[in-house]
Structure 1
């Protein structure tokens, strides 16, 4: 537990490198390797300089000072390489993880600027951040993210259309607004979980122009606004093209009862393909901006919609509320029809609930109708993989005919 810590051998990171293998503290420029199992107390804003890399090994805890509320700025490369047994954690002391502070705001976020070439977050937990910027914030002074005071920082911002971003097997939770805000790059988001995020707004995954992304096998629970916001807004090339398949979205959008609060929002000439996604008790389904339409080549197919009550079912019917109709979709017409039969999740849970129970299990039972309703007849962007400078190739997952992110338990 991280309720109290004594830091031995603490040294301020020098202007070039902090490669200490023992527990330490960091402020300023950092690069090199943070060794397996070490704890690093971040007492102020840290920066991975342009042209340099920071590798964070399995089991490392990156502990944020809740008074300083630091920003983790990446101008070079970041490789956060946890494992199932020993994830990397960007977090705060356990004493601060209270119900009153469940939406974080106790540090900034991981902010990867236009010169960040490669960012890999594998088996990484990012939690309790999303602080609001001020004129004194490093991100504002450096012109990063939205570069103004009063913005709630996302857990992850990435802004290099020529860069590479892989986020897999990770958890983003307990943030004030957006989980991610992505402005370009070759991208894989796979096998992640997003929950307890967004007070008055915020998407789980927010993509803008310059993005070529595969988004697959993710669970999004009760995002304040949308699980996915897909847009070609901005002036970057290539055109945003997002392929999202085999994701599970539950209770999304209800805590922001406006036109944009929903499940998947498409706008501004984004090109998208959505297949095999499971929408359970979500507000709306796939919804377009009628004033800024998506690319006409976009495709929607083999998605599954379930609502426990009639109010929910009425929300996601195509032809109303600018909800988009797909091909071969399974869309409930009456309450509780087409129950996906989760292994352990009460589908009558209040749609306004933002708290996540880690004992829930969103695998489906062996008699679920979702198991053979998907399609594999499409081509994802990164089937051949994204190869990073250290020679590792990350491949987006093969699609499954089982709708949703989990299928049955093996």
Structure 2
């Protein structure tokens, strides 16, 4: 009897020890539905709902694969962070995207700029991070001293920081974000500190309460950024910088993107469309700027690499104020074969279904808008196609090949309808 009691005690002790080391995960093996706090890895099954009640960590050397149609619901009181020390693969489809969100009753006008959960924060040990057909919304909470990211010295490692929806920090790692949507976020959608990177065919809107970019790249990045639509970011659509002293020098090839109304909600004049600084090397071709606050703008005290190439971009300003701010100057960069008018209304891109008179400070996005070009658009046939891109041959993540798309002969993210 005494031996039996000792054995039972040891069993309880071992179970208790195991629960401290592994995730607090309650998963229905038939549906894949579940909830988690702590360490997670393995597979979240297609079509399942995962309720995240506290910070979760993908351990170093392990992976979490999220299948198509999974809904990940973040607890708005706990405001969880997703810490990726291993690898994360979110592989949705056009028909069944993956969605990182909050409970339906919290998706209100009051919360349109999110702040209700942390974000996906990839530590330097994260080798691969993939988002394909994935929606990220209502993220970007502010850190405190109790935040897991602060305790682990991740991101900016201090309290009071507004988290990006995605942070990636491995200069030797691979990051692919494609066919995905970022919306209802407090500040930066993405903040990237190194890696081999593809951003393609993504949509960014209703982001940035008082600051923030759609894509913010620091030193250590070799990135292709193509066929993205960025609407009304608070500050720039792209902030491209070599700050941080990481190798390699950041070199960004950004082409065939459409930028609409960006930069106007920034209280200072730094906001605009594309900002370049700190010896970043850029090749910027075939980008369409409609009613953005400025053209491509540089930090005159700390400018871009002299080898940078810019050209075949189109600018449209509904107002004369906007058009004036596209004109080349010491801090607004002109490109070869750029299409820049000097009067308001010049070079109307002739979108299929978007009112170019839409107020520039309106962050609300109408999903019925269509930014394809119509006949007579000055963007048709004016693109450049014979330039280098980093990842034309592709990057392999989780055994699958993802390539940066070929440039188009038109300007902007969308062809003629």
**Structure-2-length-normalised TM-score:** 0.93
Per the alignment, residue 12 of structure 2 pairs with none
The separation in 1 between residues aligned to 2:167 and 2:366, in whole angstroms, is: 27
User: Do 1:106 and 1:128's aligned partners in 2 also have CA atoms closer than 8 Å?
Assistant: yes
Per the alignment, residue 382 of structure 2 pairs with 373
User: Which runs of structure 2 are paired with 1:9-408 in the superposition (5 Å)?
Assistant: 15=22, 20=29, 21-319=31-329, 322-388=331-397, 390-408=398-416
The separation in 1 between residues aligned to 2:182 and 2:22, in whole angstroms, is: 30
Number of residue equivalences? 396
Deviation (angstroms), 1:257: 3.8
**Structure 2 unmatched ranges of 5 or more:** 1-18
User: Do 1:178 and 1:206's aligned partners in 2 also have CA atoms closer than 8 Å?
Assistant: yes
User: Do 2:91 and 2:134's aligned partners in 1 also have CA atoms closer than 8 Å?
Assistant: yes
Deviation (angstroms), 1:366: 2.4
User: Do 2:24 and 2:37's aligned partners in 1 also have CA atoms closer than 8 Å?
Assistant: no
The separation in 1 between residues aligned to 2:293 and 2:221, in whole angstroms, is: 26
Deviation (angstroms), 1:22: 2.3
Aligned-residue RMSD, C-alpha: 1.3
The separation in 2 between residues aligned to 1:380 and 1:14, in whole angstroms, is: 44
Deviation (angstroms), 1:16: 6.3
C-alpha deviations, 1:76-130, integer Å up to 9, x for none? 0000000001000000112111111100001000000100000000000000010
The separation in 2 between residues aligned to 1:186 and 1:80, in whole angstroms, is: 18
What secondary structure, in the 3-state scheme, does the structure 1 residue paired with 2:52 have?
strand
Pair 1:41–1:259, CA change in 2 (3 A): same
Deviation (angstroms), 1:13: 10
**Structure 1 unmatched ranges of 5 or more:** 1-11
C-alpha deviations, 1:12-49, integer Å up to 9, x for none? 99716967552110100000000000000000000000
The separation in 1 between residues aligned to 2:268 and 2:284, in whole angstroms, is: 23
The separation in 2 between residues aligned to 1:378 and 1:245, in whole angstroms, is: 10
Q: Which segments of structure 1 move beyond 3 Å, counting only runs of 4 or more?
A: 16-21
The separation in 2 between residues aligned to 1:211 and 1:129, in whole angstroms, is: 24
**Structure-1-length-normalised TM-score:** 0.95
User: Do 1:13 and 1:27's aligned partners in 2 also have CA atoms closer than 8 Å?
Assistant: no
What secondary structure, in the 3-state scheme, does the structure 2 residue paired with 1:358 have?
coil
The separation in 2 between residues aligned to 1:103 and 1:17, in whole angstroms, is: 30
What secondary structure, in the 3-state scheme, does the structure 2 residue paired with 1:101 have?
coil
The separation in 2 between residues aligned to 1:279 and 1:224, in whole angstroms, is: 15
